[in-house]
Amino acid sequence: MREKGSGVFRLIDRNLLEVQSILRNNGILISFSGRLSQQLIEEYGDAVKTYLESESRPKNEIFHIFSIFIEMTQNIKNYCTSKTDSVSCDQIAQSSIVTIGKDDQGTYICAGNLIEHTDARPLGERIDALVHLDKDGLKTLYKERLKSSEPKDGFGAGIGLIDMARKATSPIQYSVTEYADNLSFFTIKAVV
Amino acid sequence: MNDIIQPIHIAPTRSTPEVRFDPARHLLEIRGQSYPENAFAFYEPLLRWMDGYLTHVQSETIVEIELQLPYINTTSTKCFLMLLEKLDEAYRQGKKVAVRWQYDIDNESELECAEEFKEDLSLPFDIVPKSAE
* pLDDT value for A145: 92
Q: What are the structural domains, with CATH classification, of chain B?
A: 8-129 (3.30.750.24)
* Interatomic CA distance for residues A140 and B50, integer angstroms: 28
Average pLDDT over residues A1-13: 54
Q: Which residues pair with A85 in a beta bridge?
A: none
Tens digit of each residue's pLDDT (9 = 90 or more) over A41-83? 999 999 999 999 999 889 999 999 999 999 999 999 999 999 9
| The dihedral formed by the CA atoms of B62, B66, B72 and B78, expressed in degrees to the nearest 10 | 0
Q: In A, which residues are within 8 Å of B37 by CB distance?
A: 38, 74, 77
Chain-chain contact of B109 with A67 (C-beta, under 8 angstroms)? yes
SS3 content of chain B, % helix, strand, coil (to 5): 35, 25, 35
Chain-chain contact of A60 with B36 (C-beta, under 8 angstroms)? no
* Interatomic CA distance for residues A150 and B78, integer angstroms: 9
Work out the minimum CA distance from A2 to partner chain B, whole angstroms.
44
Class (C level, CATH) for A27-191:
alpha beta
Is residue A6 pLDDT above 90, yes or no? no
| Cα A90 to Cα A33, B29, B43, distances in angstroms | 14, 41, 30
Amino acid sitting at position A160: G
* pLDDT value for A157: 58
* Interatomic CA distance for residues B39 and B74, integer angstroms: 9
Work out the minimum CA distance from B18 to partner chain A, whole angstroms.
17
Is residue A2 pLDDT above 50, yes or no? no
Tens digit of each residue's pLDDT (9 = 90 or more) over A90-126? 999 999 999 999 999 999 999 999 999 999 999 999 9
Residue B7: name the closest of B43, B53, B42 by CA. Answer: B53
Residue B106: name the closest of A41, A53, A136 by CA. Answer: A53
Is residue A3 pLDDT above 50, yes or no? no
* pLDDT value for B98: 98
Please, are residues B104 and B70 in contact by the beta-carbon 8 Å criterion?
Answer: yes
Q: How far is residue B78 CA from its own chain's centroid?
A: 12
Closest residue on chain B to A155 (Cα): B75
Residues 51 to 80 of A: which have CB under 8 A from any B CB? 59-60, 63-64, 66-67, 70-71, 74, 77
Residue A129: name the closest of A163, A170, A160, A162 by CA. Answer: A162
Tens digit of each residue's pLDDT (9 = 90 or more) over A116-168? 999 999 999 999 999 999 999 999 999 999 998 876 655 555 899 999 999 99
Which positions ≥6 away from B76 have C-beta within 8 Å? B34, B35, B36, B39, B43
Give pLDDT < 50 ranges for chain B.
1, 133
The predicted complex's ipTM stands at 0.91
For chains A and B, CB pairs below 8 A equal: 59
Chain-chain contact of B109 with A154 (C-beta, under 8 angstroms)? no
